[in-house]
Amino acid sequence: DAGSKSGRGALVILEGLDWSGKSSQCARLLSYLEGQGCRAEGWRFPDRGTSVGQMISAYLANESQLDDRTIHLLFSANRWEKRALMESKLLGGTTLIVDRYSYSGVAFSAAKGLDIQWCKAPDVGLIAPDLVIYLDVQPEKAAERGGYGGERYEKIEFQKRVADHYHSLRDSTWKVVDGSLPMETVEEQLRELATNCIQKCQEKPLTNLTW
């Protein structure tokens, strides 16, 4: 039983390049968990629904230009504005399946040449994830998916640098899943990883991200 009625919820993050299949897998995982009677919600960053999120969305659509550090801090602010709600959901027993988090923040900005420590700093103190699942897909493969190239950053050379930075961010909370496997196979692996994580972290206190 993947239920989390007794303890806190888990913070599960999905990371990966653009068009690596994160959003579809998040949705599949969420409906599976709900079907198991687990209290869970799907979140995503950037959260384009807030006023900060609307600035980010316009930037990604190339409708506005922003300095590289400015947009970096807006992405971080967009996570900070959700921190209190995130904490209360988790403590209340709801598991959060989150499409992108601070690792996207660092990997994409560092791929522009910004200093990695500088990129990490504004996210110190956000809630630390219990599990980070990295969907590993070759940049060339992702580029074959329909819709690719529609937003800023969706260029193969840039995505290769993002992948290198993701690689250097890996720590003990990360699990790498081969995102080029059939969708059902990936889905099965995610179910198992998430279910284990939800069970294990029920009694663990929440901690803050320190990198």
Residues 145-164 contacting ligand NYM, CB under 6 A:
151, 153
Name which position in 32, 45, 134, 166 contacts ligand NYM (CB under 6 A): 45
Sign, CA torsion 202/203/208/210: negative
Residues 157-196 contacting ligand NYM, CB under 6 A:
none
68-80 and 51-60 helices, crossing angle to 10° = 140
What's the closest the beta carbon of residue 18 comes to ligand NYM, in angstroms? 5
Cα separation, 1 vs 146, whole angstroms: 37
Q: Among residues 170, 191, 147, which one has the least CA distance to residue 18?
A: 147
Give the torsion through C-alpha atoms of 88, 92, 98, 101, to 10 deg. Answer: 40
What's the closest the beta carbon of residue 4 comes to ligand NYM, in angstroms? 25
| Region near ligand NYM per CB under 6 A, out of 31-39, 81-89, 102-110, 183-191 | 102-110
Beta carbon nearer to ligand NYM, 91 or 124? 124
Residues 54-73 contacting ligand NYM, CB under 6 A:
60
Cα separation, 102 vs 123, whole angstroms: 7
Beta carbon nearer to ligand NYM, 4 or 18? 18
Q: Whose structure tokens read 């709600």?
A: 85
Q: Among residues 76, 95, 86, 85, which one has the least CA distance to residue 211?
A: 76
Cis peptide before 46 (omega within 30 of 0): yes
**Cβ atoms 127, 90 nearer than 8 A:** yes
| Region near ligand NYM per CB under 6 A, out of 97-105, 133-141, 177-185, 190-198 | 97-105
Name which position in 9, 16, 46, 122 contacts ligand NYM (CB under 6 A): 46
| Region near ligand NYM per CB under 6 A, out of 90-98, 104-112, 124-132, 171-179 | 104-112
* Interaction between residue 53 and ligand NYM (CB under 6 A): no
Structure tokens at 134: 């990295």
| Region near ligand NYM per CB under 6 A, out of 2-10, 25-33, 100-108, 175-183 | 100-108
**Cβ atoms 45, 75 nearer than 8 A:** yes
Beta carbon nearer to ligand NYM, 18 or 195? 18
Which residues here bind ligand NYM, judged by CB under 6 A? Answer: 18, 45-46, 60, 75, 99-100, 104-105, 108, 151, 153
